[in-house]
Amino acid sequence: MSLTSDLANLPSDKKRVALEMSASLAGVSLRVSRAFVEATPKATKILNAENLRLWAEMGRKLAMANADAGVKFFTDGVSDFKNVPPKARALVFQICTRQLILSSSIALETFETIPDLAKKVNNDELFTEILTVANDVANRSAKHSADFCDTHQRSPQLSKKIRKHKRVQSP
């Protein structure tokens, strides 16, 4: 199967984004671009066109520093993102892209742990609110946004406290 046939059956909006972003990625590394094209059909089952663009842009920024990291990023895919509410996905990419300025390892760790955080919070609206706050924090400090999203510490505890507080306030 050729790379272009991998994209042939995509909806037109996703196909357009995939072609644009694969060209952009090829300017950084042909290997990274190929990994993106190969991963795109599976990714488009989870991501909308705009999220596909954000995912590709994050991978491009990773690849600019380390092509192997970019290849691995796309090869790993986004299958765990089915646990992330669709309304929150763009926030994840925005947070992680800001964290890339500080550290690719911090950004990748956040990216990899967010689906687990979504499961632990287990409330789409609350999870989106948490990521909105994390995104605001990321505008000021990428490091503090990583701390805020730490799935083993703050955010799951915060979500429990918010849920408990909302139950107490409910009539």
14 Cβ neighbours under 8 A, 6+ residues apart: 40, 44, 48, 49, 52
pLDDT tens digit string along 73-123?
A: 999 999 999 999 999 999 999 999 988 888 888 889 889 989 988 988 888
**Above 70 in pLDDT, residue 145?**
no
Q: Which domain holds residue 48?
A: 3-169
Cβ pair 124, 91 in contact under 8 A? no
pTM (predicted TM-score)? 0.82
pLDDT tens digit string along 54-63?
A: 999 999 999 9
User: What is the pLDDT of the chain when averaged over all its residues?
Assistant: 85
Domain count, the chain: 1
